[in-house]
Amino acid sequence: MKRIHTAGISFILCIAVCSCAEESDEIQPIDSAELTVSDETDNSVEVITTQSLSGETVSSDVTITTDREVYDNDCESVLLTIANNSDEMIEYGETWSLDKRLNGEWVSQDDGTAVFYMIGYGLPAGETTECSCVLSTFLSEPSGGEYRILKEIDDKVYAAEFKIEG
């Protein structure tokens, strides 16, 4: 009987505490500009291009490359390789961004609706890893043009350029 009485009091206290919490039906929006790594939205971000269609790349201990430089317009994903040629472990997450070159300028394809798991990964010195970048994350239908995948690694933004024919 004491157990039932104790359980009942605990239940009532729990309900009372929960009902005292401040309720809000208001959804707090996330500023999508904070999630974008494109230098189009923030000109102060230096982008380190390690795979370029023009051949102009920056020498770096960390590189990102795509498995191909040219894809068909029916491609669904791009395989991205991250190589750590440094002497230290690097850290990165699942997030990435996509830009398209329009009139000579890189324009972010991120409309703020992309969702990523906020998981951190470590890549030891001298190792490589691969990840699949699903284009439907940012594009309903890929169209012809020049693109680049942007990936933040150790607080730096790296880019790999590629082309979609179409």
> At residue 28, does pLDDT exceed 80?
no
**Would you say residue 16 lies in a domain?**
no
Q: Structural domain of residue 72, as residue ranges?
A: 39-164
Domains contained in the chain, number: 1
**pLDDT per residue as tens digits for the range 102-116:** 999 999 999 988 999
**pLDDT per residue as tens digits for the range 94-146:** 999 999 999 999 999 999 889 999 999 999 999 999 999 999 999 888 899 99
**Which has the closest alpha carbon to 74: 133, 144, 160?**
144
Q: What is the C-alpha to C-alpha distance for residues 79 and 68, in angstroms, rounded to an integer? A: 8
Task: Give me the CATH number covering residue 110.
Answer: 2.60.40.2550
**Which has the closest alpha carbon to 111: 27, 19, 32?**
32
Per DSSP (E only), the strands in the chain are 47-51, 62-66, 70-71, 77-84, 90-93, 97-102, 105-108, 120-123, 128-134, 145-153, 156-164
Cα distance from N-terminal residue to C-terminal residue, the chain: 76
**Would you say residue 119 lies in a domain?**
yes
Q: Give the pLDDT band (50/70/90) at residue 43.
A: low
Asked whether the whole model's pTM tops 0.95, one would answer no
**Would you say residue 140 lies in a domain?**
yes
**Would you say residue 107 lies in a domain?**
yes
